Amino acid sequence: MTDSADPVSADPVSAETDARTGSAARSGAATAESPWPVARLGNELHNYIARLGAVWVEGELTQWNDRRGNVYAKLKDLEADVYLDLKVWSSTAAKLADEFKAGDRIVALVKPDYWVAGGQLSMIGYELRHVGLGDLLERLERLRRQLAGEGLFDASRRKRLPFLPHLIGLVTGRDSDAEKDVKTNARLRWPEVQFRTVYTAVQGERAAAEVTAAIRQLDADPEVDVIIVARGGGDFLNLLPFSDETLVRAAAALSTPLVSAIGHEADRPLLDEVASLRASTPTDAAKRVVPDVEEERALIAEARARMHKRLLTLVATEADRIAQLRSRPALQTTGWIVDSRAEDLARWVVRGSELANLTVERAEVTVRELAARLRTLSPKSTLERGYAIVQAGDRAVRTVADAPAGAELSVTVADGAFAAESRGQSAVGAQK
């Protein structure tokens, strides 16, 4: 195949291969005893690949060489380190409406082609287009809606920045103005603040992957209190890496607060949406992350002055209250306190005596009543009326049979007891 060959022309090797292989070309699978000729294998590959058809692909042109009308180019994947050889024949190149160069982002209609004579696989381009700004904006908006639907932009996910970070992780370009702005302004505000800087590409094909790796590295460092991603502005295309889906998802998964300081106003890369804080410029990031030592000292002095004034006011107010209390008539002379308490004490003493006497009187009446009841119920009162208790041994004599003749008796009367002897039943008792 020569440089001027047209992709739709017949392959001159095919006819020669069919004639040379003869029946071998129509035989079954190749074996060690009946192998395929190289031309047969090449032709089979060519025919198989020719049936694959054309497909639209997107990538970045890394080479664009025009050789007598035919163009030989390389197309690189936008994220992975993968390349394709791309050929555009003169008949197609003459119809292209735009001019192309290395670095352009394009979409191309390509068809794989296997050159049998050279054993080479290449992609033949039939139509090429620049990826327009409108297409990029539309894709970016679709991704924005997708990530928002997943909740990655919710304010509740944003982490609170520390009041005074001791170590700031900085992701920026090497020797960039953004680095100088952040560090200079931060140290002017708080001279003791420290930085741990990771240098990355901040535009181009390597930017998204390098920034992603950098923020993950700083997030894994327990000494880093906050991470700042800084870039000194740029146009929409230069800021595209900061809308990369992988980078945005990695930023949303960080446990360390992230500040996006891309340095732009009109455009909002998706990194801004997931960051804990969006700063308009690197200088703004330094001012919002690091407190101003002079302002803090002024605030402390102001607070101390307010506390001192408040304390003096409180003491003066309490002193006035004490003076007012002391000026009252009740506190001019203290004797009235003792006199009033003495009267109260005398009154309660009299009342106590009255209550004690009343209690004693009531108790005496109760005792007399109980004594009368006791005397009424006591056997002694019965004895005093002339009755006696007669016992024969340990038993009371209740019947004549209990005191037979000769029985020794014990007779209890009102003033004592005496012994007696029974003479048996008397005539009086027998008559009764």
Q: Are 306 and 275 in contact (CB under 8 A)?
A: no
Which pLDDT value is given to residue 356?
A: 93
pTM of the entire predicted model = 0.49
What is the three-class DSSP state of 288?
helix
Which pLDDT value is given to residue 16?
A: 44
Tell the burial category of 250 from Cβ atoms under 10 Å away from its Cβ (0-12, 13-18, 19+). Answer: buried
Which token pair is 315? 């003491």
Which pLDDT value is given to residue 33?
A: 84
What is the three-class DSSP state of 128?
strand
Q: From CA 207, how far away is CA 271, in angstroms rounded? A: 13
Q: From CA 426, how far away is CA 403, in angstroms rounded? A: 11
Using the structure block, give the residue that is written with the tokens 């006199």.
Answer: 339
Which pLDDT value is given to residue 267?
A: 62
Nearest CA among 358, 428, 424 for reference residue 397:
424
Which pLDDT value is given to residue 134?
A: 60
Cα distance from N-terminal residue to C-terminal residue, the chain:
172
Q: Where are the beta strands (DSSP E) in 236-325?
A: 258-261, 277-278
Tell the burial category of 41 from Cβ atoms under 10 Å away from its Cβ (0-12, 13-18, 19+). Answer: middle
Amino acid at residue number 227: I
Which pLDDT value is given to residue 21?
A: 42
Tell the burial category of 296 from Cβ atoms under 10 Å away from its Cβ (0-12, 13-18, 19+). Answer: middle
DSSP string for residues in 94-122 = TT-SS---TT-EEEEEEEEEEETTTTEEE
Nearest CA among 178, 189, 187 for reference residue 211:
178
Using the structure block, give the residue that is written with the tokens 């607060």.
Answer: 257
Which pLDDT value is given to residue 183?
A: 94
Which pLDDT value is given to residue 317?
A: 94
Mean pLDDT per 10-residue section of the chain, whose length is 432 residues: 40 43 52 87 86 85 87 85 87 82 82 85 84 69 88 91 93 91 92 94 87 95 95 76 91 94 74 91 92 90 94 93 80 73 88 92 92 78 78 85 84 84 72 50
